[in-house]
Amino acid sequence: MKADFKKYQGAGNDFVIIDNRNGIFNPDNSTLINKLCDRRFGIGADGLILIGNSREYDYEMKYFNSDGFEGTMCGNGGRCSADFAIRTGIAGKKHIFKAIDGLHRAAYEDGIINLSMNDVKDPKLVNGSYFINTGSPHYVLFREKVSDIDVETEGRKFRWAEEFAPGGTNVNFVELEKDGLFVRTFERGVEEETLSCGTGVTASAIAAVLSGHFDTGTIKVRTKGGNLAVTLSVSGKNIHDIWLAGPATFVFDGTVEA
Spatial separation of the C-alpha atoms in residues 109 and 95, rounded to whole Å: 13
Q: Of the listed 197, 201, 203, 244, which one is catalytic?
A: 197
For residue 164, give the DSSP letter: G
Pick from 201, 210, 197: nearest CA to 238: 210
**Contact, 157 vs 190, CB < 8 A?**
no
**Over the range 131-152, which residues count as b (16 or more CB within 10 Å of their CB) and which as e?**
bbbbbbbbbbbbeeebeebebe
Q: Of the listed 16, 33, 51, 74, which one is catalytic?
A: 74
80 is catalytic: no
Phi, psi of 220 (to 5 degrees): -80, 135
**Over the range 39-75, which residues count as b (16 or more CB within 10 Å of their CB) and which as e?**
eeebbebbbbbbbbeeeeebbbbbbbbbebebbbbbb
Angle between the N-to-C axes of helices 75-87 and 198-210, in degrees from 0 to 180, rounded to the nearest 10: 130
Residue type, 88: T
Phi, psi of 10 (to 5 degrees): -125, 105
197 is catalytic: yes
For residue 35, give the DSSP letter: H
Residues 159, 183, 211: CA angle, nearest 5 degrees: 85
Task: Give the residue numbers annotated as catalytic, written as ranges.
Answer: 74, 197
